[in-house]
């Protein structure tokens, strides 16, 4: 059995989520049919030039929409998890762990 505290589990999930998001091309991501596309604005010699590139091809359009939406939200969700972990560590904060811990475990693929 894992000996880490609920706050540590939540932080581990947030860190992994943030690392995965940062390793991918920057957003804003969008679903175009079954393709997931990331668009990045470049500045410099070519002002207002957008570079769009395909990130993933999914089996169905709704899968592509899910991937695009989750990437766009990943940093915000990781931030929420980190804030919740800090609250859990605060005096009397353990009562607030249920939902962020469930979300963290789901993301990590661990049993609730």
Q: What is the pLDDT of residues 24-56, one digit of tens each?
A: 877 778 888 898 888 766 555 554 556 677 888
What pLDDT score was predicted for residue 47? 47
3 lies in some domain: no
4 lies in some domain: no
Lowest-pLDDT range of 4-8, 30-34, 95-99: 95-99
| β-sheet bridge partners, residue 42 | 49
What pLDDT score was predicted for residue 45? 56
Residue with tokens 């596309």: 37
Taking CA atoms, 84 is separated from 2, 3, 11, 79, 109, in Å, by 20, 19, 9, 9, 19
Run of H or E residues at 89? helix 61-89
5 lies in some domain: no
Tell me which residue range forms the domain holding 90. Answer: 10-108
The C-alpha R_g of the chain, in whole angstroms, comes to 17
pLDDT at 64 over 80: yes
Q: What is the pLDDT of residues 99-110, one digit of tens each?
A: 999 999 999 999
How many separate domains does the chain show? 1
38 lies in some domain: yes
40 lies in some domain: yes
| Mean pLDDT for the chain overall | 84
103 lies in some domain: yes
């Amino acid at each position: 059995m894992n000996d880490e505290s609920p706050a540590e589990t939540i932080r581990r999930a947030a860190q992994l989520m943030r690392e995965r998001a940062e390793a991918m091309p920057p957003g804003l991501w969008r679903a175009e049919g079954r393709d997931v596309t990331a668009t990045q604005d470049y500045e410099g010699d070519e002002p207002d030039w957008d570079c769009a590139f395909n990130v993933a091809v999914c089996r169905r359009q709704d899968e592509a929409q899910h991937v695009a939406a989750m990437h766009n939200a990943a940093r915000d969700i990781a931030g929420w998890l980190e804030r919740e972990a800090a609250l859990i560590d605060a005096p009397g904060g353990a009562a607030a762990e249920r939902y962020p811990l469930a979300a963290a475990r789901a993301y990590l693929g661990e049993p609730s």
